[in-house]
Chains A and B, each alone.
Chain A
Amino acid sequence: MSDPALNDPTELVQLAVDQDACIGAGQCEMLEAETFLLDDDTGIAALTGAGTLPRQRAEDVVDRCPARAISMVDQDDGAGG
């Protein structure tokens, strides 16, 4: 798993939100307001639009989620969101 292409920081990667784990802390919306939106009524995060980010920013937002509710979807295995 050391394919250098996987580490291209500009490559777009697909993100997913585990809404059962989300605690509505709002870090994702603060960092990436174009990609994440907290629901007004529940405070739970959802993806807006395509839900993709360049790899470096995707890694940052995954890292900053306090509930570990955001993940990067491996597009090669066809698992989807």
Chain B
Amino acid sequence: MTTSTPTGTPTSPNITDADLYLDGIPYDRFAEMRSTPGLVWHEYHDGGFWAVTRHADVKVVSKNGSIFSSSVGHTNLWDLEADALEARRSLIDTDAPDHTRLRRLVARAFTPKNIRRWEDTVRAITVELLDDFLATGQGDWVEEVAAPLPIRVILTMLGVPVADAGYLVELSNYLVEGTGETQSIPPDAFGNTTELRLLPFNSPASHALFEYGEKIGEERRQNPQDDLVTSLVQAQAEDGDRLSGSEYRNLFHLLVFAGNETTRTALSHGAMALADHPDQWQRVLDDTSLIESAAEEILRWSTPVMHMRRTTTEPVELAGTALDAGEKVVMWYASANRDETVFNDPFTFDVGRVDNPHFSFGGGGPHLCLGAFLARLEIVVLLEEMAKRSMRLRRVGEPVRAPSNFVHGVLSVDMEVTSS
């Protein structure tokens, strides 16, 4: 057993350096960390953390929320002050029983069966975007397909009118920017007067999204529709204890953000993987029964959210390392998804991969991605429609990646497309 005293563990390159990710995930460094016994200590500006890089260890952290808490400190690398944590607290930053209560309010809408009801909507949006892209023959895949598809789907599910979609896409894109280190909008943008530290992603766009959520919530209270906002405000109305005003705002915010950024990232890396491995795409074209396993492989390959943090609530030993209470523990899904003890040839993109317990929806614990079945549906429908058109993608130049250690974002990637 090693002690929790940080010793001379190598920390180069620095896996928290956002700019490092402009060249992609530092997989070599993660491989080195996976082969290091115990957990690897990593310095960070407001207090270091233990990096959890092996699949099995990530699973232990993820599944034991009472020891590895989501509600203490923050679920990102840096701590938040108590008032900021309260103001920004969403489903992501809760533990049971609050998490159980909030999650059950939205769970129904995201069950496999209820997600399948949206298949025609997803397909109609996908077909429109793909046909436009094919007609042009070339363009930025992110802007033309990967970004608009998921945001249009989640806005439809929420019940946001088509006329407002553009505004919400704009807000959502500013939030994505907020996951990096620079913001292109001033603190008072969108009439914001709230201190930025009290807003998700420190972004004034969060203020605007909260306001919009309040407005559409009020409209649905007056005039209920068959949509997600209506079911949230009804949960609030039936029993105020079930969903507070702050919880509603943050839940609306989370659904818009998470419904946009994460699937966008999977669809971007997915297209890049298919373009870079034409033999694998040919396998799918020859046998479309591979589409489901191809979608799972795209998820493993892309790891849209690269890490989540937990904080220990009591002394505990993990992977032979003794941890005190109150320590930061960071689950690196990006590393677990390449764990050579779990995945055969983890650096091979294999659309037929059979055993694929990837952690792109989290490490198997209670915070498992709410939108997992929706994300799968969007990827599967996209692959089905691409296959129907015998579409082939070819990369033109290098992608522009997001400077973020959190979201494995692609800002743009030019593609040529042909259809035979």
Contacts and interface: CB of A to CB of B under 8 A. Distances in A.
A44 B63 contact: no
B107 interface: yes
Given A24-B111, A26-B112, A66 B366 contact: yes
A41 B108 contact: yes
Contacts of B104: 22-24, 42-44
A67 interface: yes
B365 A66 contact: yes
Contacts of B45: none
Nearest to B363: A66
> Is the contact region of chain A dominated by helix, strand, or loop, or is it mixed?
loop
Given A29-B112, A30-B112, A40-B114, A24 B107 contact: yes
> Is the contact region of chain B dominated by helix, strand, or loop, or is it mixed?
helix
A32 to B, nearest CB: 12
A63 B113 CA distance: 22
Given A27-B368, A64-B364, A42 B112 contact: no
Interface size class of B (residues with CB under 8 A): 20 to 34
A25 interface: yes
A64 B113 CA distance: 19
Contacts of A40: 108, 111, 113-114
Contacts of A21: 96, 100
Interface in A2-31: 20-27, 29-30
Contacts of A64: 364
A16 to B, nearest CB: 18
Contacts of A26: 110-112, 372-373
A23 B63 contact: no
Contact of B108 (A43, A63, A67): A43
A42 B99 CA distance: 16
Contact of B368 (A22, A29, A44, A66): A66
A23 B98 CA distance: 11
A44 B104 CA distance: 8
A25 B112 contact: no
Interface in A42-78: 42-44, 63-64, 66-68
A58 B47 CA distance: 42
Contacts of B372: 25-26
Nearest to B365: A66
B103 interface: yes
Interface string B345-370: 00000000000000000101111101
Interface in B90-144: 96, 99-100, 103-104, 107-114
Given A21-B100, A30-B112, A38-B112, A66 B364 contact: yes
Interface in B371-385: 372-373
Given A23-B99, A23-B104, 13 more contacts: A21-B96, A23-B107, A24-B103, A26-B111, A26-B372, A26-B373, A38-B113, A40-B111, A43-B104, A43-B108, A43-B110, A66-B364, A66-B365
3 closest A-B pairs by CB = A24-B107, A43-B108, A43-B107
20 contacts: A21-B96, A23-B107, A23-B366, A24-B107, A24-B110, A25-B107, A25-B366, A25-B370, A26-B110, A30-B112, A40-B111, A40-B113, A40-B114, A42-B108, A43-B109, A43-B114, A66-B362, A66-B364, A66-B366, A66-B368
